[in-house]
A and B are shown apart, each in its own frame.
Chain A
Amino acid sequence: MRKNNTSFKAKQRQSQWAIIFIVISFIIKFLKQLWPILLALTLGRGSGLEQYEIIAAGIGGLSMISSILSYFKFYFYISDQELIIEKGILKKVRLDLPFDRIQSVNFEQNFLHQILNVTSVEIESAGSEQKELKIDALKIPIAEKLREEILKRKEQISADTIALESTEIIDHATKHNILQLDIQKLLRVGLTQNHLKPIGLLFSLFGSLFAYGWTVDGLNPIEMYNYVRSVVSNANPFAYTPWSLLLIPFTVLYSLVTTVLKHYDLDFSRMGRRFHVVRGLFNKQQFSAMDKKIQIMSWSQNPLEKKLGFHNICFRQARSGDGKKNKQRFEIPGCSNEHVSSVKNAWLKKLSQEFRQVHTVSVHLFKHTLRYQLIFFGALIILMSFLTQWGWLSIIVIWAGSTIFLTWKKYTKTTYALNPDCLFIGGGMLGFKNSICPIYKIQNLALTQNYYQSKRNLATLKIYSAAGAMNIPYIEVDMAYHLMNRLIKQVEISQKSWI
């Protein structure tokens, strides 16, 4: 049964190594769900511990056996019209995926896959019945054969329908390189990443530890007040400054390492009607994104990237599977201005990208946020003056100033524009982030008004696509309705399939 027949017509199992991956993924899942209990058991005192250990080991052992059994009950094969996966120990499951529904066949190799020379295969599909199939481990030549076979059959089927729609000839096999990042360029890209991200990570880690301490001690408002008071009055904020300077090399190193790990040997190319990406050091990814499945394209630049002329391209694809986020959205860093426009042209094809007028939003976007910021910082400043903590006061004034400045920048960067084909939304704070979405890909619309907006005859227009929502905030109500009418008309007369 496991003899390699290249047409995949007979039932096949995965590579034997798949057992390892099934077991590992099971252990991870097990630990993720039960770590508090396990931790409590290991740290716990008192009698009865042995019983729990036996139960835990029993559950673990049983699940181990079931993972191994599930390997032997997992088959995949190809029929005339579809790819079929059969699995399940007690409850038999048969998944059929018609070739014309398949969007892409992606490979992912983590470190262990690379050592064992196998790859995991993910088959993404689309349509009203969305599902996703995953094969844990296949030998690479077999995986490549499988992908070739699926794409060949898929194109045979879609060739008939496409031929009816257009006379355009598409070359599916030739690869057109767009961007490759060697290690030197990759390091420069790493240097331009957002170095504040790891700080946020650290804060959330400390924050959760802190919150944990509080919940353990029990929440008592008076104790909390005393605690905050003692922290504030005993600590000199300027004593932390040298320590925070020490954070800088750490965060830069962190973003360098994560960038290199993720984008190592990046190869971004175009094949037929899809973009293709290969990247990664320990976790090697190979995936493609069909034009049809991409719903929104964004390109952005932070101040550091601006210095080196790099752009970040981000594609947002329609959700598939059980709302899993992986690869729904992927980013390509280190792109030049030319890359951005060529990628945009390739994706949008004949759709117009020219916008006669770019509109700004109401200044109330800034004023409304400012109102809350003034209340918050005002209260803090009054509290600190009351406690005569001048060091903390100066820190808060700086914090307030920069926050308000960023809110203002955010308002000035928020723009939108519309032409008969596409919707453009500009955003960002210190840098910029622009997004473009073909109107026929819009799913539905909503107009929202909070109390502040109602009073001032303003509204926020929400535009929902299959890859998430976009907002045009704080515009005149009349304008919002006008946009809504125009967009919805385009959606309703459009004959194009959004996916």
Chain B
Amino acid sequence: MTDYNYNNAQIDTDTLPSIQNIEFQALDKSYLKVEVIGTTIIWLIIAGSVNTGFFLSNVKPTWVPYLILGIFTILITFSYVVTIKGFYRKGYALRQLDIIYKEGLLWKKQSLVPFNRIQHAEVNQGPIERMFDLGELNIYTAGGSSSDLSIKGISKEKAMSIKHFLLSKTAMDEEK
């Protein structure tokens, strides 16, 4: 136990390695296309069901459909702006002992998972992601589903190699 070689043990808290000034790695550019396609599909589904709803039911005040159409236009524009601008806010960083992921435009979030708390990691690939050869890296801890870290939009190869790196780190942890 004494041979554990963490070199920072005695360092003053003011000189701790800080997360604040970290350089994040951007996601794969093609993931922006995946996100735009995803948003479009969702809106098509919503528009389809709303239309069917109108078709089936007889809405009484005739101005209601126009009002809904107006609201929808605003919502759709907003969601595309958030999707595109939000894409450039996402990024991840690997440090010696932990992995950090940041995201969010209006609601920003930076999550940090130490390697020695990772329970397992997996790489997934959705149908649209497969077209662009992208992968999704999911990292699980015992902290519950709301805290699990998910990095979408990196090449599948990269996702796999990060996963192997993480698992080798956690395996080392267990040996000690």
Contacts and interface: CB of A to CB of B under 8 A. Distances in A.
Nearest to A454: B108
Interface string B26-38: 0000000000000
Given A448-B109, A489-B16, A443 B8 contact: no
A443 B143 contact: yes
A446 to B, nearest CB: 4
Contacts of B116: 491-492, 494
B16 A443 contact: no
Interface residues of B, number: 38
A356 to B, nearest CB: 13
A489 B60 CA distance: 63
A466 B112 contact: no
A494 B112 CA distance: 16
Interface string A473-486: 00000100110111
A380 interface: no
A465 B144 CA distance: 8
Contacts of A222: 60-61
A464 B8 CA distance: 24
A451 B106 contact: yes
B117 interface: yes
B68 to A, nearest CB: 12
Contact of B114 (A448, A462, A491): A491
Residue among B104, B113, B143, B146 with the highest chain A CB neighbour number at 10 A = B143
A248 B24 CA distance: 57
B147 interface: yes
A467 to B, nearest CB: 9
B133 interface: no
A128 B116 CA distance: 13
Category for how many chain A residues contact B: 35 or more
A114 interface: no
Interface string A217-254: 00010100000000000000000000000000000000
Contacts of A488: 19, 98, 112, 114
Given A485-B19, A486-B16, A448 B8 contact: no
Interface in B77-118: 97-98, 104, 106-117
* Main SS at interface, chain B: loop
Contacts of B147: 443-444, 446, 462, 464, 469
Contacts of A464: 141, 143-144, 146-147
Nearest to B145: A323
A220 B114 CA distance: 52
A462 B20 CA distance: 16
A33 interface: no
B9 interface: yes
B18 to A, nearest CB: 6
B120 interface: yes
B143 A466 contact: yes
B144 A469 contact: yes
A494 B114 CA distance: 11
B154 interface: no
Contacts of B60: 220, 222
A9 to B, nearest CB: 32
B75 to A, nearest CB: 18
B4 interface: yes
B169 to A, nearest CB: 11
A451 B117 CA distance: 31
B6 interface: yes
B133 to A, nearest CB: 29
A495 interface: yes
Contacts of B112: 444-446, 484, 488
B117 A481 contact: no
Contacts of B61: 222
Residue among B98, B116, B144 with the highest chain A CB neighbour number at 10 A = B144
A484 B13 CA distance: 11
Nearest to B142: A466
B159 interface: no
Nearest to B4: A495
A222 B61 CA distance: 10
B108 A449 contact: yes
A486 B144 CA distance: 22
Contacts of A443: 113, 117, 141-143, 147
A468 interface: yes
Given A319-B144, A446-B110, A128 B119 contact: yes
A469 B143 CA distance: 8
Contacts of A495: 1, 4, 176
Contacts of A498: 117, 142
A491 B109 contact: no
B141 A444 contact: yes
A495 to B, nearest CB: 6
A493 interface: yes
A450 interface: yes
B13 A486 contact: yes
A465 B143 contact: yes
Given A464-B147, A495-B4, 13 more contacts: A318-B142, A443-B113, A443-B142, A446-B109, A447-B109, A448-B108, A448-B110, A450-B106, A464-B143, A469-B144, A469-B147, A485-B16, A495-B1
Interface of A: 128, 220, 222, 318-319, 442-451, 454, 462, 464-466, 468-469, 478, 481-482, 484-486, 488-489, 491-495, 498-499
10 closest residue pairs by CB, A with B: A464-B143, A443-B143, A466-B142, A464-B147, A481-B20, A449-B108, A446-B111, A485-B16, A443-B141, A444-B113
5 contacts: A448-B104, A489-B16, A491-B117, A493-B4, A494-B116
